Homo-oligomer: A and B are copies of this chain.
Amino acid sequence: MSFGVCLNNVREKSPLIHNITNYVTVNDVANVLLACGGSPIMADEPDDAVEITQICNGLNINIGTLNSRTITSMFKAGLKASELGHVLLLDPVGAGASALRTNTAIRLMKEIKFDVIRGNASEIKTLALGSGTTHGVDADKADSVSDKNLSFMIDFVKNFAKSSNSIIALTGAIDLVSDSSKCYVIRNGRPEMGKITGTGCQLSGMMTAFIAANLDNKLESAAASVALMGLAGELAFKDGLGNSSYRNNIIDEIYNMTGEKLDKGAKYEIF
């Protein structure tokens, strides 16, 4: 099945995705979910979150701006979604930057089976190694995937996918999406995307919708959403564009993406 078919399935099935996510980028997450063909809903009061997640197809847990109330919701809704066999994604924003974030992410991984964990290199390393040196919510340069350390990093994500029993999506200049046996190496996107807040959060929302609409092809559909985000970033770019217009243009390009365009523009290899 091609990436384009994965996208077409999202548009056709319009999965409803429950997002327990940070308030910094939540509006963009909602609009990106709508742009790709999904449908967003947000609820973060414990009782409400448990009930809302039951009418959804997937749950996207993003720990940016977590608090004690929303952490309770993450666990309660996460367990309920897991019980119902819904798609579950963890975005460990800032894992490694504080004990609360690191420990919450690690506890979530222990108690809930996530279909996929998506983060930058620092966050993923923190979760894999149990410690980290994170520069805020952005990845340390030392951690990033490059052609020099590519085969090392591919092994690293495959191993972490195996030990965590989740698909690992480590995104950055080069994106890696892997289960224990295969790894997609995706080279879409532009460095200027790092100057927009929340492209990672947006991708997490979208990836949850992709997997929910492609349950028999989880790895491929996760990779398809990564390629879509990056390709939209390429198509949306123009010289001299500021980061606010760039943000808007990327969402517009996702809205206007077709399966055919995605298949043509996606740049990836499988290892």
Contact = CB atoms under 8 A, between A and B. Distances in A.
Contacts of A52: 94, 97-98, 136
B39 A67 contact: no
B65 A30 contact: no
Interface residues of A, number: 62
B243 A252 contact: yes
A180 interface: no
Interface string A39-64: 11111110110011001100000001
A72 to B, nearest CB: 11
A138 interface: yes
B245 A248 contact: yes
Given A242-B35, A242-B251, A24 B26 contact: yes
Interface stretch (A80-88, A163-171, A190-198, A219-227): A190-198
A16 interface: yes
A31 B67 contact: no
A247 interface: yes
Contacts of A30: 24-25, 197-198
Given A30-B197, A67-B69, 9 more contacts: A24-B40, A27-B28, A31-B197, A39-B136, A43-B98, A45-B65, A45-B68, A244-B247, A245-B249
